[in-house]
A and B are shown apart, each in its own frame.
Chain A
Amino acid sequence: MSTLPFLIIIPLLGAFSMPIISLLGEKARSAWAVLVSALTLGVASKVFYDVWSTKQLIVYTLGDTTPLGKGVNFPIRILWEVDLFGALLALVVAFVGFMAIIYSLEYMKHDTGLEKYYTLILVLELGMLGIVITGDMFNFYVFLEIMSIASYALVAFRNDTWEDIEAGIKYMFVGSLASSFILLGIALLYGQYGTLTMSYLAVKIAQNPTLVSKVALGFFIGGLLFKSGAVPVHMWLSDAHPAAPSSISAMLSGLVIKVGGVYALTRIAFSIYATSISIKTVGWIIIFFGCVTLIVGNAMAVIQTDMKRLFAFSSVGQIGYILLGIGIGLTAYGTKIGDIALAGAIYHIVNHALMKTLLFLVAGAVLHQVGTKNLNELSGLAKKMPLTSFAFLIGAAAIVGLPPLNGFASKWLIYESSTLYNPFLAAIAVLGTAFCTAAYVRVLFTFFGRPSEVVENAKEPGKAMIIPMLILILAIIIMGLFPWQISDKIMLPTANMLKDQLHYVVAVIGGA
Chain B
Amino acid sequence: MKKALGALSLLFILGILLIVAHPDYGLKFGFGGKDWQTYRYTDEYYIEHGIEEVGGTNIVTDIVFDYRGYDTIGEATVLFTAIAGAVALLRRWRDDDE
Residues of A within 8 A of B (CB): 12, 15-16, 62-63, 69-70, 72, 74, 76-78, 111-113, 116-117, 119-120, 123, 126, 130, 138-139, 142-143, 145-146, 149-150, 152-154, 156-157, 159-160, 188, 191-196, 210-212, 215, 218
- Complex formed: what's the CA distance from A111 to B95 in Å? 11
In the complex, whether B60 has a CB less than 8 A from a CB of chain A is no
- Complex formed: what's the CA distance from A26 to B40 in Å? 52
Decide: A130 and B74 in contact? CB cutoff 8 A: yes
In the complex, whether B27 has a CB less than 8 A from a CB of chain A is yes
Decide: A194 and B92 in contact? CB cutoff 8 A: no
The 18 listed contacts between A and B (C-beta, < 8 Å) are A12-B73, A15-B77, A70-B53, A76-B42, A78-B71, A116-B85, A116-B87, A119-B84, A120-B88, A123-B80, A138-B71, A142-B78, A149-B81, A152-B85, A194-B43, A210-B25, A212-B26, A215-B26
Which residues of A have CB within 8 Å of B95?
A: 160
Q: How far, in Å, is A55 (CB) from chain B's closest CB?
A: 26
Take A146-B78, A149-B81, A149-B82 as given contacts and tell me if A112 and B92 are in contact as well, using a CB distance cutoff of 8 Å: yes
Q: Which residue of B lies closest to A195 (CB)?
A: B42
Q: How far, in Å, is A246 (CB) from chain B's closest CB?
A: 17
- Complex formed: what's the CA distance from A194 to B20 in Å? 16
Cross-interface CB contact of A188 among B27, B73, B92, cutoff 8 Å: B27
Which residues of A have CB within 8 Å of B71?
A: 78, 138-139, 142
In the complex, whether B19 has a CB less than 8 A from a CB of chain A is yes
Which 7 pairs between the two chains have the least Cβ-Cβ distance?
A153-B85, A116-B88, A160-B93, A142-B74, A212-B26, A62-B70, A113-B91
Cross-interface CB contact of A116 among B70, B75, B84, cutoff 8 Å: B84
Q: How far, in Å, is B61 (CB) from chain A's closest CB?
A: 15
Cross-interface CB contact of B75 among A69, A113, A142, A153, cutoff 8 Å: A142
Q: How far, in Å, is B54 (CB) from chain A's closest CB?
A: 9
| Interface hits, B37-62 → A, CB 8 Å | 39-43, 45-46, 49, 53
Decide: B74 and A146 in contact? CB cutoff 8 A: yes
Decide: B42 and A74 in contact? CB cutoff 8 A: yes
Residues of B within 8 A of A (CB): 16-17, 19-20, 25-27, 39-43, 45-46, 49, 53, 66-71, 73-75, 77-78, 80-82, 84-95
Q: How far, in Å, is A168 (CB) from chain B's closest CB?
A: 8
Decide: B91 and A159 in contact? CB cutoff 8 A: yes
Task: Give the interface SS of chain A, mostly helix, strand, loop or mixed.
Answer: helix
Decide: B16 and A215 in contact? CB cutoff 8 A: yes
Cross-interface CB contact of B26 among A126, A159, A192, cutoff 8 Å: A192
- Complex formed: what's the CA distance from A195 to B45 in Å? 12
- Complex formed: what's the CA distance from A130 to B81 in Å? 15
Decide: A16 and B80 in contact? CB cutoff 8 A: yes
Q: How far, in Å, is A71 (CB) from chain B's closest CB?
A: 9
Q: Which residue of A lies closest to B86 (CB)?
A: A153
Decide: B69 and A62 in contact? CB cutoff 8 A: yes
Task: Give the interface SS of chain B, mostly helix, strand, loop or mixed.
Answer: helix
Which residues of A have CB within 8 Å of B75?
A: 142
- Complex formed: what's the CA distance from A202 to B73 in Å? 26
Decide: B77 and A69 in contact? CB cutoff 8 A: no
Decide: A69 and B49 in contact? CB cutoff 8 A: yes
Decide: B81 and A153 in contact? CB cutoff 8 A: yes
Which residues of B have CB within 8 Å of A149?
A: 78, 81-82, 85
Q: How far, in Å, is A333 (CB) from chain B's closest CB?
A: 26
Which residues of A have CB within 8 Å of B85?
A: 116, 120, 149-150, 152-154
Which residues of B have CB within 8 Å of A218?
A: 16
Take A62-B70, A146-B74, A194-B40 as given contacts and tell me if A123 and B81 are in contact as well, using a CB distance cutoff of 8 Å: yes
Cross-interface CB contact of A69 among B45, B73, B88, cutoff 8 Å: B45
Which residues of A have CB within 8 Å of B25?
A: 210-211
Q: Which residue of A lies closest to B75 (CB)?
A: A142
Which residues of B have CB within 8 Å of A146?
A: 74, 77-78, 81
Which residues of A have CB within 8 Å of B27?
A: 188, 191-192, 212
Q: How far, in Å, is A153 (CB) from chain B's closest CB?
A: 3
Which residues of A have CB within 8 Å of B93?
A: 159-160
Decide: A145 and B69 in contact? CB cutoff 8 A: no
- Complex formed: what's the CA distance from A128 to B40 in Å? 31
Take A116-B85, A149-B85 as given contacts and tell me if A194 and B80 are in contact as well, using a CB distance cutoff of 8 Å: no
- Complex formed: what's the CA distance from A160 to B88 in Å? 12
Decide: A194 and B69 in contact? CB cutoff 8 A: no
Cross-interface CB contact of B80 among A15, A152, A210, cutoff 8 Å: A15
Which residues of B have CB within 8 Å of A16?
A: 80
- Complex formed: what's the CA distance from A9 to B40 in Å? 32
Q: How far, in Å, is B85 (CB) from chain A's closest CB?
A: 3
- Complex formed: what's the CA distance from A10 to B71 in Å? 17
Most A Cβ at <10 Å: residue of B17, B19, B68, B73: B68
Cross-interface CB contact of B46 among A15, A76, A210, A211, cutoff 8 Å: A76
Take A139-B74, A194-B39, A194-B43 as given contacts and tell me if A150 and B81 are in contact as well, using a CB distance cutoff of 8 Å: yes
